[in-house]
Chains A and B, each alone.
Chain A
């Protein structure tokens, strides 16, 4: 059996150094090689995108992107690493791990405890649903796999989300891409960011410039939304019109 390739992702250098030492202590019982280290979730995604990472030891409390969000984005990869979370003190996360029967390590970590976690991890990734339950906070980014890498798109840059047959199209000013998620699930996660204007469409609340009367292609309610910096008019359905009107008044 090939040795497990392990990545260490933690924003504190001494914490990474300590983890290396501990892994060294476990080496005889758990053969492995260190695939690399990263100081935040962005570099971490870069690292695991390069392939050859079987397992990642990930700190939860990191700048820019939490360890849990990192794990969610890593899942878009063809061969995502197995993630073991590490935290110094995060009551909410610890509670969520317990509730969802997800293993985790508390800093300072004991070598014996690390070894047990490594042996138990057994090559199974945590599914997205579990990660969502652990951290119900909305993500800061959407992620897509492109040429074997994770591309991140800040949620704040998204103009609107449109449901297609099996996918959701995410539109920013610069580009569009597909997500394999459901619109209603996205609506729930980003209730503060997007508002539903149509059965198949969520738009960024902050970017609504105006609402116009006029025949749009579907022309249902006779109203459509204009977004900041976007030409296309987005039709409002009869059903969503009253709640949208309330929102615009507020």
Chain B
């Protein structure tokens, strides 16, 4: 896709490029057919190009440009007095040079900008855990140390593991299975301090457990569900977490009780924006995150490509 696009722009720019290089031989009117033909052919080839490896795609683009140039040559000879072999060779040379230069330029640009930028953004988007949760959890663990040291130990182990994940490099995709077990550890801690106020329903399709997802995708959403859905409620509430397959896509769905009076809290939108951006960096337009209020519940829906780990 990028290759095709690069070539299209390359051709449009080669107009001035060629003009500069050789005013004598090439005038704009003779260049136009070459450009147009190459653009049309490359546009038609774009789906094919997108599937090819970079080197092969580049070969196809070069070939297209050269064929177009050669094909347009007879047209050019109509306007010029001395048609000869040498003219064709020059034209082919120019076309190849222009294409090569622009391909190189776009290659450099792509390398310089997008992956590094994406890396940096992913790093900046590293998920965070609310201090509110940390300090309340530490307090809950402290309450156990004298009365129930065994449970206190387990809680500190959960806390350690949770923070190990939060603080690790979270740029590579991870298994949904691991993300789920992280959530379970997190929920253990929340259960400790919220008791029966927090009820969790998991609906996990075992088939999607080996699916690859951005790390710390689920945990911040579950944290949000508790912060906005369970904590503001005096009565117990249910957090539902679903994961399943929908064709070649993975669907994750979370829901929690909705408390309209608590929507002024800023945290929710920030966490959602963060996750949206991370999904986009990993899956581009193939992933989406939707939220809605359905009756008395708040729902989050995520659809993304279901890539299973080998």
**Which parts of B108-136 form the interface with A (CB within 8 Å)?**
130-132, 134-136
Would you give the shortest CB distance from B55 to chain A, in whole angstroms? Answer: 54
**Which parts of B129-174 form the interface with A (CB within 8 Å)?**
130-132, 134-136, 138-140, 142-144, 146-147
Q: Give Cα A58–Cα B162 distance, bound, in whole angstroms.
A: 29
6 A-B pairs (CB sep. < 8 Å)? A11-B197, A15-B139, A63-B231, A63-B234, A64-B232, A108-B135
A interface secondary structure, majority:
loop
Stretch at the interface among B84-92, B188-196, B274-282, B292-300: B188-196
In order of increasing CB-CB distance, the 9 nearest A-B pairs are A18-B143, A88-B135, A14-B143, A14-B140, A89-B131, A107-B139, A88-B136, A108-B139, A17-B143
Hey, what's the 0/1 contact readout for A117-155 against B, CB within 8 Å counting as 1?
Answer: 000000000000000000000001000000000000000
Q: Which residues of B contact A12 (CB under 8 A)?
A: 136, 139-140, 193-195
Interface residues on A, range: 20 to 34
Q: Give Cα A109–Cα B139 distance, bound, in whole angstroms.
A: 8
Q: Which residues of B contact A107 (CB under 8 A)?
A: 135-136, 138-139
Task: Evaluate contact between B131 and A21: CB separation under 8 angstroms.
Answer: no
Task: Evaluate contact between A14 and B135: CB separation under 8 angstroms.
Answer: no
Cβ of A61 < 8 Å from any Cβ of B?
Answer: yes
Cβ of A49 < 8 Å from any Cβ of B?
Answer: no
Q: Which residues of A contact B244 (CB under 8 A)?
A: none
In chain B, what residue has the closest Cβ to A24?
B146
With A14-B139, A18-B139, A108-B135 known to touch, is A63 a contact of B233 (CB < 8 Å)?
Answer: yes
Can you add 14 more A-B contacts, CB < 8 Å, to A14-B193, A21-B146, A88-B139? A12-B193, A14-B140, A15-B139, A15-B140, A17-B147, A61-B132, A63-B234, A88-B131, A88-B132, A88-B135, A88-B136, A89-B135, A108-B135, A108-B138
Give the residue of A14, A42, A61, A106 whose beta carbon is less than 8 angstroms from that of B144. Answer: A14
Would you give the shortest CB distance from B197 to chain A, in whole angstroms? Answer: 8
Q: Give Cα A11–Cα B196 distance, bound, in whole angstroms.
A: 12
Q: Give Cα A64–Cα B146 distance, bound, in whole angstroms.
A: 31
In chain A, what residue has the closest Cβ to B264?
A137
**Which parts of A58-106 form the interface with B (CB within 8 Å)?**
61, 63-64, 88-90, 106
Q: Give Cα A90–Cα B233 distance, bound, in whole angstroms.
A: 18
Q: Which residues of A contact B144 (CB under 8 A)?
A: 14
Q: Give Cα A21–Cα B233 distance, bound, in whole angstroms.
A: 27
Q: Give Cα A88–Cα B132 distance, bound, in whole angstroms.
A: 6
Counted as pairs of residues, one from A and one from B, with CB atoms less than 8 Å apart, the total is 62
In chain B, what residue has the closest Cβ to A42?
B234
Q: Which residues of A contact B195 (CB under 8 A)?
A: 12-13
Q: Which residues of A contact B142 (CB under 8 A)?
A: 18, 108
Would you give the shortest CB distance from B160 to chain A, in whole angstroms? Answer: 17
Cβ of A237 < 8 Å from any Cβ of B?
Answer: no
Would you give the shortest CB distance from A66 to chain B, in whole angstroms? Answer: 10
Would you give the shortest CB distance from A60 to chain B, in whole angstroms? Answer: 11
With A13-B195, A89-B131 known to touch, is A21 a contact of B231 (CB < 8 Å)?
Answer: no
Would you give the shortest CB distance from A132 to chain B, in whole angstroms? Answer: 18
Cβ of A40 < 8 Å from any Cβ of B?
Answer: yes
Hey, what's the 0/1 contact readout for B231-246 against A, CB within 8 Å counting as 1?
Answer: 1111000000000000
In chain A, what residue has the closest Cβ to B135?
A88
Give the residue of B140, B143, B232 whose beta carbon is less than 8 angstroms from that of A63. Answer: B232
Q: Which residues of B contact A106 (CB under 8 A)?
A: 135
Q: Give Cα A140–Cα B259 distance, bound, in whole angstroms.
A: 14
In chain B, what residue has the closest Cβ to A20?
B143
Q: Which residues of A contact B197 (CB under 8 A)?
A: 11
Q: Which residues of B contact A42 (CB under 8 A)?
A: 234
Q: Which of B143, B193, B261 has the most CB of A within 10 A?
A: B143
In chain A, what residue has the closest Cβ to B131?
A89
Q: Give Cα A114–Cα B232 distance, bound, in whole angstroms.
A: 27
Task: Evaluate contact between A15 and B136: CB separation under 8 angstroms.
Answer: yes
Q: Give Cα A106–Cα B130 distance, bound, in whole angstroms.
A: 16
Q: Which residues of A contact B193 (CB under 8 A)?
A: 12-15
**Which parts of A35-58 form the interface with B (CB within 8 Å)?**
40, 42
In chain A, what residue has the closest Cβ to B196?
A13
Q: Which of B139, B192, B197 has the most CB of A within 10 A?
A: B139
Q: Give Cα A89–Cα B132 distance, bound, in whole angstroms.
A: 5
Q: Give Cα A106–Cα B139 distance, bound, in whole angstroms.
A: 10
Q: Give Cα A98–Cα B193 distance, bound, in whole angstroms.
A: 28
Would you give the shortest CB distance from B289 to chain A, in whole angstroms? Answer: 27
Q: Which residues of B contact A109 (CB under 8 A)?
A: 139
Q: Give Cα A56–Cα B193 distance, bound, in whole angstroms.
A: 21
Q: Give Cα A42–Cα B235 distance, bound, in whole angstroms.
A: 13
Q: Give Cα A64–Cα B193 distance, bound, in whole angstroms.
A: 18
Q: Which residues of A contact B194 (CB under 8 A)?
A: 12
**Which parts of B247-292 form the interface with A (CB within 8 Å)?**
261
Q: Which of B131, B138, B142 has the most CB of A within 10 A?
A: B142
Q: Which residues of A contact B136 (CB under 8 A)?
A: 12, 15, 88-89, 107
